[in-house]
Amino acid sequence: MPASDYEVTIGLEVHCQIRTQTKMFCACRAGFGYAPNTNVCPTCLGMPGALSTLNVRAIERTILAGRLLGCSIPPISKWDRKNYFYPDMPKNYQTSQLDLPLCIGGSVPLYEWTFPANTEVPASEDGIVRHVKLDHIHLEEDAAKLTHFAGFSLVDYNRGGTPLMEIVSAPDLHTPDEAYAYLKSLQQIMVYADISNADMEKGEMRCDVNVSLRPRGQKELGEKIEMKNINSMSAARRALIYEIRRQTEELDAGIAQVQSTRRWDDTLGESIIMRTKENAHDYRYHTCPDLIPVRTAPLVERVQECIPEMPDARRQRLIRDYMLPAADATTLVSDASLCSFFERTVQAGAPARKAANWVINTLTAVLTERETSLADCPISPAALADIIGIVEDGTVSTNQAREVLDVIWRTPDKDASSAAAELGYKKADSGALEELVRSVLEENQDMVELVRAGNAKLVNALTGKVMKTANPKPNPKLVTQLILSCIKS
Ligand code: ZN
Ligand code: MN
C-alpha cells in the first residue's frame, strides 16, 4: 500500500521546566550551573519522613500556560504518586498528577512562522495555520540527571525536584512538519509568557513523540509507537519521518505493529526497539497522602492580571500600530527578543519601518558576522535609534551609517553624531553645499543639458563630481536631491 493510503496520527508529550527560584516540593534552589549535588535537602533526596511543601509560583505559571492555551482549569487539582524504581528518583515515586491535573483541554496554535524552513507552509489566517487539540497539562517534578560512562554512572540530584510542566497533546497531529511547528509554537509561547526558557539544547524542554498508522477509513487508531526524550525540534521531525516510513514498510509487508517504546538515535538516523507495552497501571498511581489538593480559583484570578500578548496578537499589533509589512512583522514575532529590541528602538524615537529594516537586516547580519547574540550586543536600542536619526536628518547615507555603527560597536558610549564627525561625515551646511552644487553644474553645462533632455543616468555622475570635491562628505542622496532641484529651477 502506498504511504498515502495510511492515515498518520501523532501525539506529543512535552516536558517543560518552569522558571522558578526554588524546587517544586522543597526550598532548594532550582537552576543550572551549580556544583553537583549541592542544591539538595532531605525532601528532594527522598529521606524517610521528609515532608513536601508546594511551590505556588510553579502552580501559577502552569495555570498561566493553561489560560494562554485556552484550557479549562478545574476548581480542584490534586497530586498523585507515580511509582517507579530508578536512581534518578530516590523516593521511588514521582509526585505528579493523574486524574485531576491543573489544566484540561485547550489547544496550541500552529503559526505559519513556526513551520520548518524551506518547506511548504499551509495557508493561514492572521498567521495561524490551525489549532492542535490538547488533552491536558499537569505539573510534576523533574528527575535527577544521570550521566552514563563505560561501566558506571553519575547522578546529580540538583535537577531532581525542579518544577516540570507536562503538556500532553491529543492525537491530533498528522505530519512531521506539524509536530515541528507545534514544538516551536509551544516554545515561543513559553518564552513570551516568561514561563520557561524552553531551551531544548539545555533540556529545559524535552519531547516524547508517539505515532501510529491506520489504513485510511479505519475507525480505531493503529498501534502506538513511542520515542522518548527527543532533544531538538528537527530531531523530532527526523524521528517521525523515519518512523512513518518504517511502519509503512512493515505494514505493507504484513508485519503488525505492537505498542512499544523505541529509542531514536539521531546520529544513526534510526529507531531501536526498547520495550513493549507500558500502561498507566504499571506505575500504580495513587493519590499523594502528604499533599492537600489545590483550590485553583484564587490563583486563576491572580494569573488573569498578567496574561501577556500571544505572538499572533503581537504580529497584528505590529502591522496595525507600526504599519509594518506583514513579512517584517512575521520575522520580528518569530524572535521575541529581536521584537522587543525593535519596539524599544521605536520607543527611542526611530521611525518604525526604518527601525524594522535596520533590526531585521543590518543588525542581524552584523550579529551573525560577529558571532554575537542579541543579549550581548553592544549597540542598545537607543543607540540604534540615534544612528537611524542621523540617516534621517541627512547627516550620513545608509552606507556611512554602517561605519558609524562599527564605531559605536567598539565604543558604545559615543553618540552617533560625534562618531559620524570623527569619520569626517558632518551634516552639510545646506547653503555651502548648494553653492558647491551650483558651481559643479556651472562647470558641466553640457551634462546638465543632457539631463534636461532626459538622460537621467548622468545625475549620478554629477553627484559623484560633487562628492569628490565636497568636504566634509555630505549624504549623496541629499546631493542628488539638490542637483535635481537646481536643474529644475
Ligand atoms: Zn530539596
Ligand atoms: Mn512526565
pLDDT digits 0-9 by tens, 216-236: 999 999 999 999 989 999 999
Grid cell 509487508 in the structure block, residue? 253
Q: Considering every ligand atom, which ligand is closest to the CA of 43?
A: 1
- Residue 308's SS3 state is coil
Kindly give the pairing relationship between strand 163-169 and strand 128-141: antiparallel
A 10 A CB-CB count for 454 gives 8
Averaged over 265-270, what is the pLDDT?
A: 92
Residue 102 is predicted with a pLDDT of 98
- Residue 171's SS3 state is coil
Gap from CA of 96 to ligand 1 centroid (Å): 16
In this structure, are residues 16 and 208 in contact, taking their beta carbons and an 8 Å threshold?
A: no
- Asked which of 202-216, 337-351, 389-403 is least confident by mean pLDDT, the reply is 389-403
Q: Considering every ligand atom, which ligand is closest to the CA of 207?
A: 2
Averaged over 165-181, what is the pLDDT?
A: 97
Assess whether pLDDT exceeds 80 at residue 206. Answer: yes
The torsion of the CA quartet 386, 388, 394, 397, rounded to 10 degrees, works out to: 120
User: Predicted confidence band at 453 (pLDDT cuts at 50, 70, 90)?
Assistant: confident
Residue 110 DSSP code = E
Q: Considering every ligand atom, which ligand is closest to the CA of 144?
A: 1
Gap from CA of 99 to ligand 2 centroid (Å): 14
In this structure, are residues 275 and 239 in contact, taking their beta carbons and an 8 Å threshold?
A: no
Residue 3 is predicted with a pLDDT of 60
Gap from CA of 113 to ligand 2 centroid (Å): 28
Gap from CA of 272 to ligand 2 centroid (Å): 22
pLDDT digits 0-9 by tens, 366-408: 999 999 999 999 999 999 999 999 888 888 888 889 999 999 9
Cα angle 286, 287, 293 (rounded to 5 degrees) comes to 160
Q: Considering every ligand atom, which ligand is closest to the CA of 28?
A: 1
Residue 103 is predicted with a pLDDT of 98
Grid cell 513559553 in the structure block, residue? 190
pTM for the model stands at 0.83
Assess whether pLDDT exceeds 90 at residue 123. Answer: no
Q: Considering every ligand atom, which ligand is closest to the CA of 206?
A: 2
Q: Considering every ligand atom, which ligand is closest to the CA of 25?
A: 1
Assess whether pLDDT exceeds 80 at residue 136. Answer: yes
pLDDT digits 0-9 by tens, 31-74: 988 999 999 999 999 999 999 999 999 999 999 999 999 999 99
